[in-house]
């Protein structure tokens, strides 16, 4: 092996190692799979919209322990992956969009967008099994909720 060939080979190995170091963290970081649900809370037994389905019993019981409404109906549901160090939009209705960004930590930045305008931003660590719930009053003593849950471990 000549000196030149050896030097070229060593340089290639060094570059490959640098590339590996630079990309290893990004490659190994998994995407965040999240579910966002738009829910309507009411004391009525049925939703006026027949397309709305009741939430599952576990979610209903959790919501009942925190909020005052008796019944909760799923208006829309969106499941998406948020790439590492990137963001994704969850369009739940014409007026309501949730933008979620994956941050280092691991933390997430949740942005509520209403009628195209940014309304609120929350940055937090989403713990195992934890839900992030946005809520607000609606007409006729009812309320709306957006429940964000991580579907898989990061």
Partner 1 sequence: MNVEQQLKLQAWLDGELSESEARQVAAFVQEDREAQAIIGELRLTKSFLAGNEPEATLPESGDFYWSKIRREIEQPEKAAAKPPGVSWAFAWRRLIAPLSGVALIAFLSILSLNVFHQQPVDDSARYLVEVENLSDDIGSISYRSQSENMFVVYLYKKDQETDSESHIEPIDDTFFQ
Count of positions on this chain that bind partner 1 (CB under 8 A): 38
Give the integer Cα–Cα distance in Å for 118 and 33: 23
Question: Is position 22 an interface residue for partner 1 (rule: CB under 8 A)?
Answer: no
Give the integer Cα–Cα distance in Å for 34 and 22: 27
Query: Of 2 and 94, which CB lies nearer to partner 1 in the complex structure?
Result: 2
Give the integer Cα–Cα distance in Å for 132 and 108: 11
Question: Is position 48 an interface residue for partner 1 (rule: CB under 8 A)?
Answer: no
Extract the tokens encoding 51.
């397309």
The length of the chain is: 154
Question: Is position 143 an interface residue for partner 1 (rule: CB under 8 A)?
Answer: yes
Query: Of 3 and 50, which CB lies nearer to partner 1 in the complex structure?
Result: 3
Site string for partner 1, 115-134 (x = CB under 8 A): --xxxxxxxxx-x-xxxxxx
Question: Which of 105, 150, 100, 101 has the alpha carbon at shortest distance from 128?
Answer: 150
List interacting residues with partner 1 (CB under 8 A).
Answer: 1, 6, 10, 13, 17, 21, 24-25, 28-29, 62, 65-68, 105, 111-112, 117-125, 127, 129-137, 143
């Amino acid at each position: 092996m000549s000196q030149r060939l050896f030097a070229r080979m060593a340089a290639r190995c060094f570059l490959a190692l640098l590339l590996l170091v630079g990309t290893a963290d990004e490659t190994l970081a998994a995407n965040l799979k999240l579910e966002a649900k738009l829910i309507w809370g009411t004391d009525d037994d049925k939703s006026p919209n027949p397309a709305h389905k009741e939430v599952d019993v576990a979610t209903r019981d959790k919501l009942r322990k925190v909020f005052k409404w008796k019944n909760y109906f799923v208006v829309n549901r969106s499941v998406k992956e948020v790439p590492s160090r990137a963001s994704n939009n969850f369009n739940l209705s014409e007026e309501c969009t949730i933008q979620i960004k994956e941050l280092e930590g691991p933390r997430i930045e949740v942005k509520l967008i209403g009628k195209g305008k940014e309304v609120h931003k929350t940055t937090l660590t989403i713990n195992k099994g934890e839900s992030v719930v946005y809520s607000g009053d609606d007409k006729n003593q009812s309320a709306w909720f957006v429940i964000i849950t991580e579907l898989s471990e990061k």
